[in-house]
Structure 1
Amino acid sequence: MKSFKLDEKGDLILQNGSFIMIEGDEELAQQARISIKTEKGEWFLDPEEGMDRGPLFSKFFNEAEAKDNILESTMGTSEPLNFESIIFNRDTRNRKLTVDIIMRKEDDETLALEGVEF
């Protein structure tokens, strides 16, 4: 499968006046990132797409529930992914949260998503 390459903000990337296309591991990682960064119910064509971010921003952070929501949000990717690790980096002073994720594909290769911001 091929997709347009997106930057960290979700904008299409142009190079020499043409859109950049991606496939393979890069495209699969982008699918996972999009699913995680999409708020559940945000996309009107599929209200179940995306992630429930409630546990990420609650007063009492529940890491287990947040991990479960990340896992659930990526179930619609084109290939099943198993999660090796999910590390939350909480900056309470600046009220920022980033997540580093390592996933394993069916062929036993790993994919990494680093610095996914919420």
Structure 2
Amino acid sequence: MKYRRLDANGDMVMGHGDADYLQDSPECVAQAVATRLRLLTGEWFLDLQEGIPYAPAVLGKHTKESYDPVIRARILETEGVTAITEYESVFDGETRKLTVNVTIETVYGAASVQEVM
């Protein structure tokens, strides 16, 4: 598995040859999970069905019992992920942000991902 490295702002890193890529590592799979959680359904012009359905399934008047399975399924469908070993989601009503902390087992080892949506 090979994935272009992202910087702290989520932008692609370029201009450093092979150092611009993550390959066959837990970090590579973790970045794939993070980017898959950021993709909204209908956002990718090549496949409008791809993405996480935040509007109908996560945001709004949904409960933890309705959105956690959607997020967990998206993580488990990521290439290289074999299991979720720890999962926590916290919704902050004041900031209207959902934070997901997850530890995954990958084909390369364990990795952690934290995403704020």
**Please, what TM-score do these two structures have when normalized by structure 1?**
0.78
Report 1:61-72 matches (<5 A): 61-72=62-73
| Corresponding letter in the other structure for 1:73 | R
1:3 is aligned to 3
Q: Is the 8 A contact 1:51 1:72 kept in 2?
A: no
Provide the rounded CA distance (Å) in 2 between the counterparts of 1:75 and 1:90.
21
Flag the structure with higher helix content.
Answer: 2
For 1:112, the equivalent position in structure 2 comes to: 112
C-alpha distance in 1 between matches for 2:102 and 2:46: 27
Structure 2 regions of 5+ residues with no counterpart?
Answer: none
Give the superposition deviation at 1:81.
2.9
Residues 1:48 and 1:85: Cα distance change in structure 2 (over 3 Å): farther
Matched residues in 1 for 2:16 and 2:94: separation?
41
The percent of aligned pairs where both chains have the same amino acid is 24
Shift of 1:84: 2.1
Secondary structure at 1:74's aligned position in 2?
helix
Compare 79-88 and 33-42 and name the one that shifted more: 79-88
- Structure 2 equivalent of residue 89 of structure 1: 90
Aligned length: 113
Q: Which residue of 1 aligns with 2:59?
A: 57
Inter-CA distance 84–75: structure 2 relative to 1 (3 Å threshold): closer
Amino acid at match of 2:80: E
Q: What is the RMSD computed on CA atoms of the aligned residues?
A: 2.2
